[in-house]
Structure 1
Amino acid sequence: MGEIRRRQPPEDAALKIKQALIVAWDDLEHWQRDNKYITGGYRRTSASFRACLSSLFYLHNESVNIWSHLLGSLLFTVIALFYSGHLLPAYESAGKVDTIVFSAFFLGAVICLGLSATYHTLSSHSPHINKFGNKLDYIGIVFLIVGSFYPSIYYGFYCHPRLQELYVGMITILGACVVCFTWMERFRTPGWRPWRAGMFSALGLSAVFPVGHALFTHTYAELAQTMGLGYLLLQGFLYLLGAAIYAARIPEKWRPGIWIFGSSHQIFHGLVVAAAIAHFRGLIIAYEYWHRVRGGQCSI
């Protein structure tokens, strides 16, 4: 019997370990509570970086949030390395500014997704680490939005350097203001969830000013080539859709439960990656137009 008992534990031990690591909403410490509609699948407070990192390798309600943006960050790192060595040097008319604006986009994407994955990995560590990581997560979103603006403004106003300076300055100042708001203590509280979504949406929607200006002087068909406008609009739609789902806490609000897969925050994460990919596609169209079709010239 002793021999049988010694051989039994593997599955039972794994189950006990999982039960020890995963807790329900009612068992959470107050600082961990954010979304009451997700009732289980939470990690215990660990106060250990090693324990947080080990959570990469078992399933909980942050797993999708972590891996969606960790893999997204790695994806944009690989794309950046590939295009910096192949596409950007492909045309003689391309120069340092092209490299700078593409780098701004790639850095914004990698920093945003990387900080997000890091925050969600370490969020169960302690109140202090959770709070600090949450602020970095929000700052990463600003980096992505601002970094995406720079190349779009550069190509959208390729022949108008004064307008480039105007709109780059505008988005930089707005981004800095949002960063300041993220350091407010109440900014990260559950009650401010709609305000957070609204503020980041407003930062993204500030694109209305340069895009509206461009549409006043050019047709949509022209801008679809010169700045990849179609993909910029797709990006904006995906961001707004994600922000709306995040703020409304849909679908878990309709059916509270454990939600290991498919919660509003996870959907938001997926849409952020999809929006960044759409934006990158638009930048490639604009880059190809100005350097392959126009040879970097403002007049043909």
Structure 2
Amino acid sequence: MEMQHRARENCLEKSTEILESHQLCSSKDGKGKRLWNKVKYQLVEYHSLPGYLRDNEYILSHYRSEWPMKQVLLSIFSIHNETLNVWTHLIGFFIFLSLTIYTAMKVPNVVDIHSLHFPDILRKADLQKVHSELMTCLPSLPHMPYLHKLWESSMDLFPSLSSWYVMDLLYNCLPERFSHNHTDVCVLSAMMEDVVNVVAPSMTTPITRWPFFAFMGGAMFCLLASSTCHLLSCHSERMSYIMLRLDYAGIAALISTSFYPPIYYTFMCDPFFCNLYMGFITVLGILTILFSLMPVFQNPEFRTIRASLFFGMGVSGVAPVLHKLFLFWHHPEAIYTTGYELLMGMLYGIGALVYATRIPERWRPGKFDIVGHSHQLFHMLVVAGAYTHYRAGLVYLKWRDMKGC
């Protein structure tokens, strides 16, 4: 009887121990889950990253690693070592989107009449139409009743004197305003403006805009692809693989389309060289994109080769620029656009050099993890270079709208 009682007590003690042990394990599991939920989306250091996310050993901390897509998307509003990489090009994308809309709406389809040089207009104008407009408006000048004879007599007395020169003298030498009984009347400048409005549209037909907007589209694609890549690449290895190739394709698209405005508008009157240069840069861009799709191209040891390849695409623009200067050295627009293009190339070149050498973080590893590392500097230089090229494109449009071929 006593033995049964002891056996029952021993069994009860074991059951209690098992229950307490189970409760303790459950408690630990609950705390562990809560702790894991708290830390699983924390930033990690470089040595904790999977191999496909290890790209820059000089950036030591603040990495996101294999986060779910929801947390990855929300991380655009948090601080990590990719925050400024995302926002520098995302802001750049919206800048170029705004510039594209502004240019399409505000930059006139034909050149501004007030920016034209009057003799240039009259050289190409229909002089009979000019004469008709002039004779219509001259009688309204009250103190100059014989002014209308100046046109006819000048042609009779000085047949060798071109009509445009006489009209330019009238436009520039006579007073702008006359008064009669304190009432404003027709002025010569207004008259000549009416003449310009008649004759100018026939000689200022706007040139095609597609090369300019192709560049703007290439710039926006590059900036948006880069921003998306830096935001989403930490999700998974497959996502990183896709995003990096999209990023490389965007860079190649930007460089290729950057050549379209200068080549097209410089050689629009020479189809052979226009097609030659544009075909060459297009094929080179496509080959660069295809090479970028190769898996080996993604490895960190190919960083310098990647930068050199894109830098080489930029250097290939030297030939058409030199050709432009040879053909149009006496045109100020050729000099202005070349200055812009040299500045753009310098910005892109410095950006590629900074990217390849990983300056400044290589000098002080871990000090530029959040702000100031090479990729952020590279992004800002790309935006600055693209904007410089946008300014050059506006010069090309105005030049060719005014001059044609």
Normalised by the size of structure 2, how large is the TM-score? 0.65
2:49 matches 1:28: yes
SS at match of 1:89: coil
Identity of aligned residues (%): 39
Query: 2:69: which partner in 1?
Result: 49
Which runs of 5 or more structure 2 residues have no equivalent in the other structure? 1-36, 112-200
Query: 2:107: which partner in 1?
Result: 87
Query: 1:97: which partner in 2?
Result: 208
2:271 matches 1:164: no
Structure 2: how far apart are the matches of 1:144 and 1:18?
40
SS at match of 2:268: coil
SS at match of 1:117: helix
Shift of 1:18: 8.1
What is the CA deviation profile of residues 62-87 of structure 1, one whole-angstrom value per residue up to 9, with x for unaligned ones?
Answer: 01110011111111111101111121
Normalised by the size of structure 1, how large is the TM-score? 0.87
Task: Pick from 203, 213, 224 the counterpart of residue 313 of structure 2.
Answer: 203
Matched residues, number = 278
Residue identity opposite 1:28 in structure 2: L
What is the CA deviation profile of residues 213-240 of structure 1, one whole-angstrom value per residue up to 9, with x for unaligned ones?
Answer: 2233332x63644771111110000001
Query: 1:4: which partner in 2?
Result: none
Q: Which moved more, 1:271-280 or 1:252-261?
A: 252-261
Which of the two has higher C-alpha Rg?
2
Task: Pick from 349, 352, 355 the counterpart of residue 240 of structure 1.
Answer: 349
Residue identity opposite 2:96 in structure 1: F
Structure 2: how far apart are the matches of 1:50 and 1:121?
12
Residue identity opposite 1:239 in structure 2: Y
Shift of 1:211: 1.1
Structure 1: how far apart are the matches of 2:39 and 2:380?
26
Query: 1:8: which partner in 2?
Result: none
Residue identity opposite 1:148 in structure 2: S
Q: Which moved more, 1:173-182 or 1:151-160?
A: 151-160
Pick closer, same or farther for the CA change 1:105–1:17 going to 2, 3 Å.
Answer: farther
Structure 1: how far apart are the matches of 2:240 and 2:298?
10
Shift of 1:88: 4.5
Structure 1: how far apart are the matches of 2:286 and 2:240?
22
Structure 2: how far apart are the matches of 1:189 and 1:205?
24
Query: 2:59: which partner in 1?
Result: 38
Task: Pick from 119, 129, 134 the counterpart of residue 244 of structure 2.
Answer: 134
Structure 2: how far apart are the matches of 1:51 and 1:90?
50
Q: Is the 8 A contact 2:86 2:228 kept in 1?
A: yes
Which runs of 5 or more structure 1 residues have no equivalent in the other structure? 1-15
Q: Where does 1:121-200 land on structure 2 (aligned, <5 Å)?
A: 121-200=231-310
